[in-house]
Structure 1
């Protein structure tokens, strides 16, 4: 008779010692995934200690800057609420790529097409919520211990990348805990849109957290092998009923069209769509209406 008390530490050791960055890999079995799920657990009873600034008015929305207690540090966030329509509003989590920030979603003509995306979603009646990922934005390490986020791969600090992604996932879960305290947010209608590293975070959140009802990802990067805590395949295979949109470039240096298609095929459900555009590691702004329509099709029905 096998002892799970022995098996789980062995699995956990393999998760922590595995090589990190690599090509697409098959997903782990259910016993191993139970260890991965446990690794993303956190203390939901930990007080959020929310602090907010006065909302700032923009043409189509009010944006509130706030801070809450994440897994082990204060996390900065923006929440934008539409000026028109009646709440509670469905909400889309926005997750930038490596080197990004919550600010980039409110700046125009940049890599994530931030402001254009926010305005399109708000125009459809969505609130939007974004945090600074671990080691990003106002959470960037100023002690000199860690380099700029974009240098982590160059310096082969892939365990740091793993821990950064894992903490960001947990902090978005804490952000969901915060959204559940608000009367103006419909927490039965939550979507997530992530780019590059943010696409990985989006897959993990969608595979782990039942509060996420659908997802869209752009130029998502696959990290690690089948035992990795942040291998997207461990989560896509477990997305059974939630709609997922993938937008990928056919000349992206981080993956091939074949591996992108393999990742898409690994998504467990049938409500999915793959768009392969001509280009590299940046989703063209022309796809913003497609992304907004994708969320509107389902989330506005809740």
Structure 2
């Protein structure tokens, strides 16, 4: 609000008197137009990110519901805490040789869950596990949550596949899926910070598909991220929603959730790993999103693949979070 007032004052001042008291009637329309575009951009950004905000928890009501140590000395914990509007179950896995205070948050795709990173059942989840194991070997602790309506949180959607929300035109559930999950990740970061003895903590984020979308949204509002790697994220929610059964009018209502709107809002350095044959976006759309990112520390790599990236993406993902 203060920013808006300042810009309105600037419009009045520049539109009337000009710089150093010299009248600039000739340039007044151009100056006013520029100022209006600026304030419109700021208001739009505020509108886009408003629903990703939250009030930090005073109490987490945390409980460790499972704990063990594997043969490699990695400590595995399953933790449940109070999230934005429900309980959040997540895995906290710490390597034997730990880099104190360094965490990587791993975000799964739609219909997936946190177990995909631990117990592989598909060729993609096998790559998830390889990536997770590589991070542990390098000394990173990994945080793996279930997105809302997924895994142990599927009861929140009456155990239905989240894909059905689109064909049923259930806008509220689709909206909550993204906004609540992003807020839950922010709350998990709050929790880790509250429990850590080392300062500062460093949080990297890796998201695949829907998880990549959430990573983009998260990186538009949270200043605490160190580096972000986005893999094959659908960039146009309106377009993607129609692909899985949502009608035109309903899909338009989800426009504010489109990652493409968040390019100029990215905060932490970001790496995009995309497929040239992926049906969820075109190469041109990915390039356009990348070009609109205003921060200098950004990377885009294309693979000659579809939505399932080749094993090479594992190495490139690790490079993305290790860049200096």
**TM-score of Structure 1 vs Structure 2, range by shorter chain:** 0.7 to 0.9
Displacement of 1:277 in angstroms is: 0.6
Shift >6 Å, 4+ stretches: none
CA distance in 2, matches of 1:29, 1:229: 14
TM-score normalised by structure 1 residue count? 0.82
Q: Which residue of 1 aligns with 2:230?
A: 217
Q: Which residue of 2 aligns with 1:107?
A: 119
Whether 1:191 and 2:218 are equivalent positions in the alignment is no
Of the three residues 273, 280, 283, the one matched with 2:306 is 280
CA distance in 2, matches of 1:191, 1:271: 15
CA distance in 1, matches of 2:50, 2:145: 23
CA spacing shift, 1:227–1:281, aligned 2, 3 Å: closer
Query: 1:197-224 CA deviation, whole Å, 9 max, x = no partner?
Result: 1111001111110011210011001214
Contact kept, 8 Å, 1:67 with 1:77, in 2: the verdict is: yes
Q: Which residue of 2 aligns with 1:93?
A: 105
Contact kept, 8 Å, 1:76 with 1:138, in 2: the verdict is: yes
Contact kept, 8 Å, 2:105 with 2:143, in 1: the verdict is: yes
Displacement of 1:38 in angstroms is: 2.8
- Superposition pairs for residues 153-302 of structure 1, below 5 Å? 153-183=166-196, 187-222=200-235, 223-224=237-238, 228-240=255-267, 242-298=268-324
How many residues end up aligned between the 2 structures? 270
For the residue of structure 1 that corresponds to 2:294, the secondary structure is coil
Which structure has more RCO (C-alpha within 8 Å, separation ≥ 6)? 1
Gaps of 5+ in 1: 5-27
Contact kept, 8 Å, 2:213 with 2:233, in 1: the verdict is: yes
Query: 1:91-133 CA deviation, whole Å, 9 max, x = no partner?
Result: 1110001001111111235424221111111112211101110
TM-score normalised by structure 2 residue count? 0.76
CA spacing shift, 1:77–1:216, aligned 2, 3 Å: same
CA spacing shift, 1:136–1:186, aligned 2, 3 Å: farther
Whether 1:41 and 2:53 are equivalent positions in the alignment is yes
CA distance in 1, matches of 2:114, 2:293: 28
Task: Pick the structure with more helix per residue.
Answer: 2
RMSD: 2.4
For the residue of structure 2 that corresponds to 1:284, the secondary structure is coil
Structure possessing the higher radius of gyration over alpha carbons: 2
